Structure 1
Amino acid sequence: MNVKKSTAITCAMTGLLALGAQMVAAPAMAAEEKEKCYGVVKAGKNDCATKTASCAGTAKMDAQGDAFVVVPKGLCEKLAGGSLQPK
């Protein structure tokens, strides 16, 4: 194998590895920038299961204390009725 071909393959592999690392790191960073906000969702608009509802989108009433929606970090406590802990 000649030097140019070997260098090209090495560069391509390095680029793919770097891209893979970014794809793994990006969701992890995005998750760190979000938080669960309880008590602010409209009926049927929650993001996950609650004590009284088995899956997302099944909150029975507006501002249900154990239903949450995922919001950008720092926003929840600014919302009327928002709480970082279930009510």
Structure 2
Amino acid sequence: MKNIVTAGLIAGALATAAASVASATSHDAPAGKEKCYGVVKAGKNDCSAADKSHACMGGAKTDGSGLEWIAVPKGVCEKLVNGSLTPVEAAKDTAE
């Protein structure tokens, strides 16, 4: 009986760990939507930053970061000011 309980606990722990990994690595936009970078307000992003500086929804620190995204209906992103379907690094200031 003890072996059955132990096996059940181990199986449950492994299933929980696998589900956590699957949800943590699933950073795709939902069906019918696309990732739109550069238009999200601080704290309102849908998932991790393109530069992996954070892995959380709501982790954006600044408005309009080209590394943060939100899911928008397909075809909408490129109609938005600063909207990009790919991450955009901040421009480097070359003036001294």
With normalisation by structure 2, the TM-score equals 0.57
Measure the CA separation in 2 of the matches of 1:63 and 1:46: 10
Measure the CA separation in 1 of the matches of 2:48 and 2:36: 13
**2:45 is aligned with what amino acid?**
N
**1:82 is aligned with what amino acid?**
G
**2:44 is aligned with what amino acid?**
K
In the alignment, structure 1 segments of 5+ residues that lack a partner are 1-29
Give the Å deviation of 1:53. Answer: 2.2
Q: CA RMSD in A?
A: 1.1
Counterpart for residue 40 of structure 1: 39
Write out per-residue CA displacement over residues 35-73 of structure 1, whole angstroms, 9 at most, x where no aligned residue: 000000000000001122221101010001110000000
Q: Percent identity at matched positions?
A: 61
Counterpart for residue 64 of structure 2: 63
Matches within 5 A, 1:4-15: none
Measure the CA separation in 2 of the matches of 1:79 and 1:66: 16
Alignment length, in residue pairs? 57
In the alignment, structure 2 segments of 5+ residues that lack a partner are 1-29, 89-96
